[in-house]
Structure 1
Amino acid sequence: MVKKIVYALLALLIVIQLFRPTKNITTTEQIQSIDKAYIIPQNITGILQKACYDCHSNTTIYPWYINIQPVAWWMNDHIKEGKRKLNFSEFGAYTLKKQDHKLEEVTEQIVDEMPLKSYTLMHNTAKLTADEKKSLTDWANTLRKEIQSKM
């Protein structure tokens, strides 16, 4: 009986490998991205790319384990949720009020919630130093003032 259960589970594991989510990779120019809407300092671009863009843009860089189900399903849902909350690739399409609010959330989340510990566990380079957090927060607050002046 135990052998049958093990074989059934192995068969199920093999079958689910055939069902893969669509990857979050855009190859076209992203005309609504935050760096098209605003001038972003190079150091901030680097921080955003290493710690934010995999879940909050249309340009996820996938690790090797994305090819294993059900891990890919979990990651795909996580990325969709991250993009629903904030998508830097579509930031320029947001209203000014929404841009301001999203940047306010960035300053709140960066304190100790983002990037997620589950993400930095496998992506050690995404961990932000205190200086990087301060730079990102200062930049977000400065950009908020610029946006608020247009409202």
Structure 2
Amino acid sequence: MTTVKKALTGLLLIMIAAQFYRPAQNSNPSDMPNHISKVVVIPAKVAGILKKACYDCHSNNTKYPWYAQIQPVNWYINKHIEAAKAQLNFGNFKEYTTRKKMSKLRAIENSLEDGTMPITSYTLIHKGAILSEDEKQLVIAWIAALREGLEKNQF
């Protein structure tokens, strides 16, 4: 066997072995007592937008595509979700302090305004997550109302 064949065979064996290592997935379909919907009213249209564009990465319940079952794709996706949830987790929103809620809401608003969310690597595959200008403005208006309510300690 040539060195190239040995290397390719070794790489193939490593890839096959990697398929047997399955880290826990970010999936918890049970009742979510700390979800943002338990803290504030989310209009149906806004809830639909958040579900299609945000929740896969920023909640405790990701809907994984078929290709997420293949390693190392699964590792990449899970690392991305961990990083996203560290920034904002709609599933734990109730646990945030008022100050942190305000900060997270401002960050969502800024991300929508500057177009950094949802991220391009997500929308390349999930075309339905691409938000129209009207959808962005609807979420931004909802956030503005939430922030005003938080400032008045209504939540």
TM over 0.5: yes
Structure 1 residue 20 displacement after superposition: 1.4
**CA distance in structure 2 between the partners assigned to 1:57 and 1:27 by the alignment:** 11
Provide the alpha-carbon RMSD of the alignment: 1.0
The aligned residue for residue 141 of structure 1 is 144
For normalisation by structure 2, the TM-score amounts to 0.95
The aligned residue for residue 44 of structure 1 is 46
Q: Which secondary structure does the structure 1 equivalent of 2:61 belong to?
A: coil
- For 1:26, the aligned partner's letter is N
The aligned residue for residue 133 of structure 2 is 130
Structure 1 residue 82 displacement after superposition: 0.6
Matches within 5 A, 1:1-150: 1-111=3-113, 112-150=115-153
Structure 1 residue 28 displacement after superposition: 2.4
**CA distance in structure 1 between the partners assigned to 2:46 and 2:69 by the alignment:** 30
Deviations 1:71-95 (A, max 9, x none): 1001001001111100001101111
Segments of structure 2 that go 5 or more residues without pairing to the other structure are none
**CA distance in structure 2 between the partners assigned to 1:40 and 1:122 by the alignment:** 26
Structure 1 residue 102 displacement after superposition: 0.3
Segments of structure 1 that go 5 or more residues without pairing to the other structure are none
Identity of aligned residues (%): 42
Q: Which secondary structure does the structure 2 equivalent of 1:4 belong to?
A: helix
Structure 1 residue 141 displacement after superposition: 1.0
Structure 1 residue 59 displacement after superposition: 1.0
Structure 1 residue 131 displacement after superposition: 0.4
Structure 1 residue 27 displacement after superposition: 3.0
Q: Which secondary structure does the structure 2 equivalent of 1:58 belong to?
A: coil
